[in-house]
Structure 1
Amino acid sequence: MDHRLQLLTRWVSQFPGFANTVVAPVAGDASFRRYFRVWRSADWREARGVARAHGAQVNQAFIVMDAPPEHEDCLPFVTLAQHWRSQGVKVPAIVQQDLAQGLLLIEDFGDCLLLGQLNTANTDKLYGNALAELLRIQQLPNNPDDPLAPYSNDLLDREMALFRDWLLQRQLGLELNDSDLAMLSNTFTLLRESASAQPTVPVHRDYHSRNLLVTGGDDRPGVIDFQDAVMGPVTYDLVSLLKDCYVQWPDERVQNWMESYRQSSLSAGLHSADAATFRQWFELMGMQRHLKAAGIFARLALRDGKPDYLNDIPRTLGYLSSASGRQPALRPFHDWLLNTVVPAVEVTLGPVPGAHQP
């Protein structure tokens, strides 16, 4: 019996217009959170003030977020949603909340994830919209009452360690000797130092095609899954979007988008980097993120029973291979990746894009 589903059904039914609502599951994310769609029925008029405040209409859909308190904390989501929305970022409105039970009733942005809407005719437009929203996020003032935590060296290191602990050792069963561990440590240090050298801005930390929704009404994407935001490197969210773990674009296209964003973020006063410096930041930041992502995908499969994420590991390794191959200082890592990790991944998970190109 799904006790959490019963709990959230009782909880949402207490609000005007939701007494007899249908509760329908919505695709989840890579966390313990679950999402359900509910509809406000025609008796919403009984709460005219609430309806006006939230733009409610007959049969309007909303989302219930189910975040078990023993696994998830809703407070960062609520705090950030309220602050970012007040500053003009298109995040969902919080309609009702019960933090103790881990339940939120929020605005519904629909099901049109950016990933599923891309085609040859609209990609530049949709990515342009996503980049414009990112620039808006990066210019946000910090909330004086609840400032974002820094993207600390310790956090960067813990994230990269996921690659070693979950992908290499647990998923692939690789035995790492002292030389391997020293090489990984040197690689992590170089990536951490590059990230720490960048100007800091608000960082969503998961800004990609599955966390942006194409919504009606305007061109701006709806932004979700932002509760882990920090103050961190200016290229982090950019590389998360342009070197997306779920979709890959030709390098020339990525570089054009990156340079366009460099110029717009330069004009906004977010950094003073020239093209070569910004690209180097971007490339090394991407490696840090893809080390983390590859480890998380393995952990999701092994610990959380979500094996479909294993399908995204080869693409993520492909990004690592391409980026490390352009870095002379990371030649030991690049060679080891191609000679040791890529073969192990390809035996079990499928071909790694670009790994065998000269």
Structure 2
Amino acid sequence: MASREKQVLYTFLVLLSLFSMAHAIRSPPLALFRNCKFDKIFQFGDSLSDTGNLVRERPFDVSGRLPYGQSFFNRPTGRYSNGLIMIDYIASAAGLPLLNPYEQVGANFRHGINFAVAGATALPVKTLASKDIHAVPTPTSSSLDVQLRRMSDYLSSYCNTQTDCRDKLKNSLFMMGEVGGNDYNYALFGGKTIQEVKNLVPEVVQSIVDATREIIKLGARNIVIPGNLPIGCVPSYLTTFQANNTFDQNHCLKDYNEFSVYHNKQLIKAIELLKKENPGVTIVYGNLYNAFQWLFSRAAYLGFDRNSLQKACCGSGGEYNFSFKKICGLPGVAVCSNPNQRISWDGIHLTQQANKYMAAWLISNMSPMLQCPAS
């Protein structure tokens, strides 16, 4: 694993040097992020961040089968990608090893823990069920509140006192998601209208805020709260909802992207309030929406196939190579010849290459706000 981690870091250095040469991304680059000297990262969230928790809950999950993981690990690891995901690049940029999943028996948590579980929601499963919102197949029960309890349980053995916790966590980075996307996915794919799902946004945002307040009480001092991606650009959405919908300049579903913006605006307002409540805590909004729009607008320049920007690499059928009936990982589902030229891996999640560029944009954007020293 050590050699793999060195390879990740080397790849990331090359990537950021290319960005610098092409003036395609704002500085500061990797060095500034490393100057923050984070010694641990704690990740919460869903499949965008899961490094192997769900596959331990469900050993037969598709993320535990090839072609998942094929491009970097040569085996499936429970990551929903052909290789590395954003948190892998973020950890490597901080000079830390890849994060082990919380549910991995005997794992080393010296440099942090990944609590994220694919399929997880911001609201408890029972709360969503009371609103007639259900996942198919049966969702994980490891919602954000469960992940938070696991963090608290870990700290009860890691720290002796609250003061001890604050001291031990002062150089830790807490990634609060992305989370909340599945609450909306389950509602929208379950037949609810965008307007109906908008009514869910305040509760989802409040759940994220409440969880953040809890980790601050536990001792967190450096926190990133990511927003949602532009869901109207995702192949699963394009396949399901393209009829009777308008498209934007990128051929993404306009109404669904506007919904993501609506969620993100509410989240940003809540973050500003959190900042005022906690002047001694660094709280940063992780702008996944802008990161993706940046990637998409420069995709051809960055080496992606301009004719397949919204096509899944691993999938089957239709204009966007996606079908819920034959998803990636099932027998007979084909994989594109060059995943590095695709943004979407399986119609829902990003390829390793897209994750790499997204992480680079985020790190460059977040580093100054995380108050990483210049030297």
TM-score (norm 2): 0.25
Bigger helix share? 1
Pick the structure with greater CA Rg.
Answer: 1
Pick 1 or 2: higher relative contact order, CA cutoff 8 A, min separation 6. Answer: 2
